[in-house]
Amino acid sequence: MSDSGGPAAVIVLAAGEGSRMRTRTPKMLIEVCGRAMLGHVTAAATELAPRRLIVVVSDEGGRVASYARAHVPHASLVIQERAGSWGTGHAVRTVVESVGIIHGTVVVIYSDTPLLRGATLTRLVAEHERSGVAVTALTAIAPDPTGYGRIIRDDDGDVAAIVEEADASPVQREITEVSSGMFAFDGDLLADAVKRVPPARATGEEYLTEVPAILRADGHRIGAARCEDFDEVQGVNTQEQLARARRMMNQRLLAGWMTAGTMIMDPANTWVDVGVTLEPGSRLMPGTVLEGSTAVAAGATVGPNCQLRDTSVGAGATVVHSVCDGAVIEAGSTVGPFAHLTRVGARQQDEEADQ
């Protein structure tokens, strides 16, 4: 632990291709509610106040590396080149070879889990350091565990093994507690074990999920910290999963703003980005989409059917059936219907279709 109370390091794996997304944008840079998935994950990691935040990328001059430098300047980049071995275990081995052994708690997470919360990682680290085990797996109860490694516990409730589905018996496949693939490690033990990960027969890749088995074979204990919300640990690999992640993040954001005092008439038909700010007493009508750094002051009403981006809505203003991009709508103004605006003065009413 550092003086700040955080772990020695958080390693974010962001070198995958994400080919199943079928998009030219690298998967981890696809936005979920106005922020790249990598941005969501590094924000959660930053809440831990780690001594080191390390992002593993595949190309020093690529778009992912550029994003990390611009948006996560406090992170160090490690390049996992596509040569020879590959996989999550190889990525972590590359980190060890690049920066040396990291003494203390090392957390490893993935860049395609945008719903992951900092509080969940905090509990993972706390459980790992409380129990004194070699590795603590972040687990969850899956409604459908298909495709996930199963957590096998002994008679005392301790983790005996993590069994991949392909190797699981019919009885083991009935287990619903699954491994997320994210872990907290003892850094010294990780540095040794990750060098001994064998390449998979089918792909030749080195998988990080082999490390707990190696450590257990060395006589060390495996721990587990359960995430109560399975959605937090699900990776985004398809467009369908991406849409679901966006919907769930939006629901999370709206719930927070309603708790803080914003009236949202129809949450199912209201969308906000993570950079949006809403003052208590503001009101959002159905069909409202707020993007970028939009801010809505107390007493203001936006909607129905409005799209606002990087727009400031002053106290008591009303905006209906309008599109506003970079506008400053001053207190008491009325905008719309059918306006397309960049700026509106105090108490000025604009009903033009385009300005």
CATH number at residue 128: 3.90.550.10
Count of domains in the chain? 2
Q: In this structure, is residue 122 part of a structural domain?
A: yes
Q: In this structure, is residue 238 part of a structural domain?
A: no
Domain match, 194 and 280 both: no
- pLDDT in tens for each of the 355 residues of the chain? 444 579 999 999 998 766 677 788 899 999 999 999 999 999 999 999 999 999 999 888 899 999 999 999 999 999 998 655 688 999 999 999 999 999 999 999 999 999 999 999 999 999 999 999 999 999 999 999 988 889 999 888 888 888 888 888 999 999 999 999 999 999 999 999 999 998 877 677 888 989 999 999 999 999 999 999 999 999 998 999 999 999 999 999 999 999 999 999 999 999 999 999 999 999 999 999 999 999 999 999 999 999 999 999 999 999 999 999 999 999 999 998 999 988 655 444 444 444 4
Q: In this structure, is residue 250 part of a structural domain?
A: no
Domain match, 134 and 225 both: yes
Q: Which range marks the domain in which residue 55 is found?
A: 9-233
Q: What is the 3-state secondary structure (H, E, C) of the chain?
A: CCCCCCCCEEEEECCCCCHHHCCCCCHHHCEECCEEHHHHHHHHHHCCCCCEEEEEECCCCCHHHHHHHHHCCCCEEEECCCCCCCCHHHHHHHHHHHHCCCCCEEEEEECCCCCCCHHHHHHHHHHHHHHCCCEEEEEEECCCCCCCCEEEECCCCCEEEEECHHHCCCCHHHCCEEEEEEEEEEHHHHHHHHHHCCECCCCCCECHHHHHHHHHHCCCCEEEEEECCHHHHCCCCCHHHHHHHHHHHHHHHHHHHHHHCCEECCHHHEEECCCCEECCCCEECCCEEEECCCEECCCCEECCCEEEECCEECCCCEECCCEEECCEECCCCEECCCCEECCECCCCEECCCCC
Q: In this structure, is residue 80 part of a structural domain?
A: yes
Q: In this structure, is residue 243 part of a structural domain?
A: no
CATH number at residue 285: 2.160.10.10
> pTM of whole model > 0.75?
yes
Domain match, 272 and 226 both: no
Q: Which two tokens stand for residue 208?
A: 């990080």
Domain match, 338 and 297 both: yes
**Of the residues 233, 249, 269, which one is the last residue of a structural domain?**
233
